[in-house]
Structure 1
Amino acid sequence: MSAREKGSISNMIAAIDFGTTYSGYAFGFKNELDEDPTQVFCFQWHGNGGIMSLKLPTTVLLNEEKELVAFGYEAEEMYSGEEHLDYFYFHRFKMMLYDQIRKERLTMDAKVKDIRGREMPALEIFTHAVKFMKNHLFKNLEGRGIKVDDFKIIWVLTVPAIWDDPAKQFMRKAAEQAGIPRKDLRIALEPEAASIWCKTIPVEKLNQGAIVSFQEGTKYLVLDAGGGTVDITIHEVIKEGKLKELARASGGDWGGISVDAAFEEALVEIVGKDLIDTFRKDHTVDYLELFRNFELKKRSKKESDDVILYVPVSFVDICEDLDELIARSEFQGSMELELDKLRIKASTFDSFFTPTCRRVVKHVQNLLQSSKAEGVEFILMVGGFSESPVLQDAIKDAFSPKYRVVIPQEAGLTVLRGAVLFGNDPEVIACRIAQRTYGIATTSLFDSKIHKASKKITVNGEDRCSNLFSRHVKIGDELYLNVAQAEKTYTPIKADQTSMRISLYKSNKDDTMYVDDPVCDYLGGFDVPMTDTTGGLDREVKVRLLFGGTEIEVKCLVVKTKAEVSSHFSFLEPEP
């Protein structure tokens, strides 16, 4: 009798994958996963019109009191009713967070906007989303007759590999506020999770009609194309089936919604931006319906077929003479209005994909030309956007037959399923590549031959250089799991100070000298208690940084007292 049949379990792993457009959760029981890693279960969601899927729209609906009313398909259905139009409707908020990450430092005060432009704290929205998934899982298990205690679950939350450390910590904070204990939560990087699943599953399920073997020594590029972002990295299978990252994760905002943006730009070209803004504001439900229809066409389009897209009557009405506007635009002959349907020529519809596909192909080409890619045999396409025939054809046309393009069955679920396996064995990723150069802010004796005069300060009658960047890790370094990088020793600058601030900075260059250089950014700080002040300035603190996991850890040793302190940096606080 299996653990599930007994009605109670000893250990379980549950993963939540939040995509820009679609989300889901999966789970597995440790004793079963250890015997057969494919024993990962996904919940099947039911949507409008009899839709059944293993993911649901990433949509949060809040009432006037900003309480969660619905998530996913239910949120879409409720918002389509006139009585709920004053509710707060959030979708694609993951991409809003990514936009903030690129532009400025992410803090706890970050905001996201609902469909009508009303702002709310991003942390609240993500917390609502995590809590919904968590509670739904419990109800699902109860329906199966399985009783699960919170402390017996290992939770995994996925994030894009190109997200920075504050963003990962932000997601962890949302999970904690949703009731998931810190000690039970692991952060998985999306392309890594997908890679783990594809390495594990039987080859006959990996690629139809192809023989694929991920044996020791196999090198492959992982192309994780989601709704919002594209994450790309290169992996090698090493001893005991573990994975080694060969090239640091990179990518950009080239996901599926960039195709939606190209379609919206075409509509703006035809009817003007003001009218599109009015349509979004005054006919919000119809605006959402238009792009839901477009999403379905994106996923189902067949080669050389024209696309017939249903257009809400409200859009036709507010445009007035939409057919004439099309005729006067650059889309004359390639788009045609037929009552409430828009016929789009196949070549024009494919052109909405062109800028995105070109960016992805160009980035993959650059990676494959680097020395890190020597010996790569496969391109592994995963993520929901990888199910698009247009993107698949673009990759195959650019890289076959030199590289074998592998598209797993249900490519959109590989991240979710792999996240469960990562939760069961986080050490499967044995080595990662440093995405940035990391260092600690410090001071040293001032040397006029080396240091800038503007950095000179006087402390205890001694000239010192301030704001020095003490490098611990260089961009591109190999970072092995549970192995500390570059232990360094620091001393206080005041004899009577009772704590030492360890401030971590990152840089895009490997030769950064000062933490206030333009290429350098503050990440976070950590205080090491030094209550025993005997020894004055001679008190030493040895600092070790561990980067091999998905999150940075710091381990400090106060040499005099032998006191050890381990923690994580606080990345969401502003620079002091």
Structure 2
Amino acid sequence: MAISTTFYNLWVAAIDFGTTFSGYAFGSREELENDPTKIFAPVWQAADGGLISSKTPTTVLLDNDENLVDFGFDAETAYSELSENGEHEDHYYFRRFKMMLYDKVRTSKLTVDTKISDIRGRELKALTVFSHAIRYLKDHLLRSVKERGGSFVKQEEILWVLTVPAIWDDTAKLFMRKAAQEAGIPGHQLMIALEPEAASIYCQHLPVEKLEGSNSISAFQPGSKYLVLDAGGGTVDITVHEVKNNGHLKELDRASGGDWGGTSVDMAFKQALADIVTEGMIEGYCHKYTGDYIELLRDFEIKKRKCGQGNDSNHLITLKVPVTFTEECAETMAKDLTTLTNESRFNNHFYWKSDKVRIDMPTFEGFFQPACIGIINHVKELFKSPKVKGVKKILMVGGFSESPLLQDAIRKAFPDCQVIVPQEAGLAVLRGAVVFGYNPKAIDSRIAKYTYGVKTNEEFDTDKHMESKKEIINGVEYCTDIFDRHVQKGQELIVDEAQAERSYEPLTSDQTEIGFYIYTSTDDDPLYTDYCENIGKFLVAVPGHDGDRSVSVKMIFGKTELTAQATVVRTGNMIPAEFKLPECEQIE
């Protein structure tokens, strides 16, 4: 959906909805015009004071009626207390659920009815959970604006920007838009920003002293080319940019990435525990002592962030271990933790003592290896592409990019590249989303990740079409399921320019609308929609019942979201073209 031409924002507010942590930032148009880096983002703190962060955990606590109880650090604390009192079973507790959406996109079609599971396996509609989280951040932001002297700000004067990974497809972006609208953000006041793009835009405005690894102002001068490595909690987003003469950015290669974010380090640690005490024991402990389990992972998060800060190989990392973990292990496994560790591959690597466990540095650093290897191998493949030729700079952003160990791994893997890390790399996306909202034309062009086309029919040709695709409509033989290509994979997409324009007409006289089913393919030019992915459809109303009823449709693929413009050929009148998720007629 496009921003209304009658809408003028006085404030830009961004919500960065992350896998592990989420947050918001905002700035007034007046301040951004004078200084694009003058952006406010709050500081969040755990109730015990053990963790202070620029974002709060992406954790949602709902009651049995699906009403929001709390979010973030407060949700963790509240659920811990409920668990201690045995009252948690009447609640839903969701954490790190953004990756569930990513998994749904990869493995099945995403719809408004898609469900995700909470920490105990209870399912709710994903749209409900996501909209609760966005509404909480939206309301918290509005309170912050008022506290900072913006008490007279009207909600209709705010442009909202919601960040999503660049590797997400159009279906997931539409889902997030729907969730934001459910949370009370009007569609005409909402923009979608791609995370690595937002960070790249923000870093252009930072002084050189705030860019570690940058030895001159030339890093973002016209003609500069660099790879953006956005390492977040769940996914790693990678794109390649060139700075044009007008200061705007041009994408050189299509966005790519994978699930090598900071949570993969957590998974490696949890797998190590499971190797010692079994996965069944870990799962049972999580359900029985959820609060203590959260505290264990929170302490691991603190130590994870510090890993690599000049510690030698003989150093030991100490984690606090809840007494309940030791007791539950003895009761479940009939052995103490030291005995179980000695019988595992972690003998002489994990040392248990009272309420602590000490892990040697090589083992702790080993938890980072799956993520580091995945990222490095992917970047090496990207550098083989002719489109990336001449790129000698890597810009690291995102929360996981703040890890000294990951930074060191990237520098060692790419010694010929200048590795640049902005101060507070974890906030680069969030602050960049505000700058993007202020100046959405900062990106001039993007590269198509897929081949896009429309499912259509054409008159049957025996020399060209499969007999099984033949269908007779009003006495005419048609070939169905034709893939009518609009954009080819790898094509440069100029922002705000229609990449293709086609004229369509209804097949029958009583047809009142045309549904344009949008498909994507990894092939350059498929003939049929078989084996292609349906990502949604545009619905366009068609005029009258007589004369020329054809409709001209322009599809614009170069923006962060897929949009279309439809025109009645006979009259020249513009008609709405609404994009809907696949198989979900109920989206309004």
Task: Provide TM-score, normalisation by structure 1.
Answer: 0.95
2:554 pairs with 1:544: yes
2:118 pairs with 1:114: yes
Contact 2:59 2:94 in 1 (8 A): yes
Which of 515, 521, 540 is the equivalent residue of 1:528? 540
Which residue of 2 is the match for residue 6 of structure 1? none
Q: 1:187 to 1:209 in 2, by over 3 A?
A: closer
2:491 pairs with 1:477: yes
2:403 pairs with 1:392: no
d(CA) in 2 for partners of 1:152, 1:237: 31
Answer with 113-122 or 219-228: which moved more: 113-122
Amino acid at match of 1:513: L
Partner SS, residue 20 of structure 1: coil
d(CA) in 2 for partners of 1:66, 1:482: 40
Contact 1:169 1:572 in 2 (8 A): no
Which of 283, 288, 301 is the equivalent residue of 2:289? 283
Contact 1:245 1:433 in 2 (8 A): yes
d(CA) in 2 for partners of 1:563, 1:23: 43
d(CA) in 1 for partners of 2:134, 2:506: 42
d(CA) in 2 for partners of 1:172, 1:493: 32
Answer with 201-210 or 417-426: which moved more: 201-210
Contact 1:17 1:415 in 2 (8 A): yes
Amino acid at match of 1:571: L
TM-fit CA distance, 1:184? 0.5
Partner SS, residue 362 of structure 2: helix
Answer with 298-307 or 419-428: which moved more: 298-307
Which residue of 2 is the match for residue 63 of structure 1? 63
Which residue of 2 is the match for residue 5 of structure 1? none
Contact 1:378 1:406 in 2 (8 A): yes
Contact 2:213 2:419 in 1 (8 A): no
Which of 230, 233, 237 is the equivalent residue of 1:231? 237
For residues 443-458 of structure 1, what are the structure 2 equivalents within 5 Å?
A: 443-458=457-472
Contact 2:540 2:578 in 1 (8 A): no
2:186 pairs with 1:187: no
For residues 163-562 of structure 1, what are the structure 2 equivalents within 5 Å?
A: 163-207=168-212, 210-213=215-218, 214-301=220-307, 302=309, 303-304=311-312, 305-320=315-330, 321-400=336-415, 402-515=416-529, 517-518=530-531, 520-535=532-547, 539-562=549-572
d(CA) in 1 for partners of 2:42, 2:272: 37
Amino acid at match of 2:145: L
Contact 1:230 1:253 in 2 (8 A): yes
TM-fit CA distance, 1:379? 0.3
Contact 1:555 1:566 in 2 (8 A): yes
Partner SS, residue 240 of structure 1: coil
d(CA) in 2 for partners of 1:482, 1:118: 43
Contact 2:540 2:577 in 1 (8 A): no
Partner SS, residue 239 of structure 1: coil
Contact 1:522 1:575 in 2 (8 A): no
TM-fit CA distance, 1:443? 1.2
1:51-75 CA distance string (max 9 Å, x none): 4332111111122332212111111
Amino acid at match of 1:357: C
Q: Unpaired runs of 5+ in structure 1?
A: 1-8
d(CA) in 1 for partners of 2:510, 2:130: 43
TM-fit CA distance, 1:473? 0.3
Contact 1:541 1:557 in 2 (8 A): yes
Amino acid at match of 2:206: I
Which residue of 2 is the match for residue 85 of structure 1? 88
d(CA) in 2 for partners of 1:497, 1:117: 45
Contact 2:20 2:57 in 1 (8 A): yes
Contact 1:432 1:479 in 2 (8 A): yes
d(CA) in 2 for partners of 1:135, 1:530: 41
Q: 1:90 to 1:493 in 2, by over 3 A?
A: same
Which of 120, 123, 139 is the equivalent residue of 2:143? 139
Which residue of 2 is the match for residue 37 of structure 1? 36
d(CA) in 2 for partners of 1:523, 1:141: 37
Contact 1:218 1:377 in 2 (8 A): no
1:388-428 CA distance string (max 9 Å, x none): 1221111111002x110111111100000000000001111
Partner SS, residue 407 of structure 1: strand
Amino acid at match of 1:373: V
TM-fit CA distance, 1:528? 2.1
d(CA) in 1 for partners of 2:168, 2:149: 38
d(CA) in 2 for partners of 1:231, 1:165: 16
TM-fit CA distance, 1:316? 1.0
TM-fit CA distance, 1:296? 1.0
TM-fit CA distance, 1:264? 1.1
d(CA) in 2 for partners of 1:231, 1:203: 24
Partner SS, residue 579 of structure 2: coil
Contact 1:437 1:508 in 2 (8 A): yes
d(CA) in 2 for partners of 1:72, 1:367: 36
Amino acid at match of 2:189: D
d(CA) in 1 for partners of 2:534, 2:17: 27
Contact 2:164 2:192 in 1 (8 A): yes
Aligned residues: 563
d(CA) in 1 for partners of 2:346, 2:292: 23
Contact 2:402 2:425 in 1 (8 A): yes
Amino acid at match of 1:98: Y
TM-fit CA distance, 1:574? 4.4
Partner SS, residue 422 of structure 2: coil
1:137-164 CA distance string (max 9 Å, x none): 1211222232210110000000111111
Partner SS, residue 232 of structure 1: strand
Partner SS, residue 41 of structure 1: coil
Contact 1:553 1:566 in 2 (8 A): no
Q: Unpaired runs of 5+ in structure 2?
A: 1-7, 331-335
Q: 1:162 to 1:448 in 2, by over 3 A?
A: same
Q: 1:10 to 1:334 in 2, by over 3 A?
A: closer
For residues 90-101 of structure 1, what are the structure 2 equivalents within 5 Å?
A: 90-101=94-105
Amino acid at match of 2:35: D
Task: Provide TM-score, normalisation by structure 2.
Answer: 0.93
The alignment's C-alpha RMSD in Å is 1.7
Contact 1:553 1:569 in 2 (8 A): yes
Contact 2:229 2:397 in 1 (8 A): yes
TM-fit CA distance, 1:10? 6.9
d(CA) in 2 for partners of 1:574, 1:455: 25
TM-fit CA distance, 1:212? 4.5
Answer with 201-210 or 407-416: which moved more: 201-210
d(CA) in 1 for partners of 2:461, 2:276: 64
TM-fit CA distance, 1:209? 6.9
TM-fit CA distance, 1:531? 3.0
For residues 556-571 of structure 1, what are the structure 2 equivalents within 5 Å?
A: 556-571=566-581
Q: 1:575 to 1:507 in 2, by over 3 A?
A: farther
d(CA) in 2 for partners of 1:367, 1:204: 29
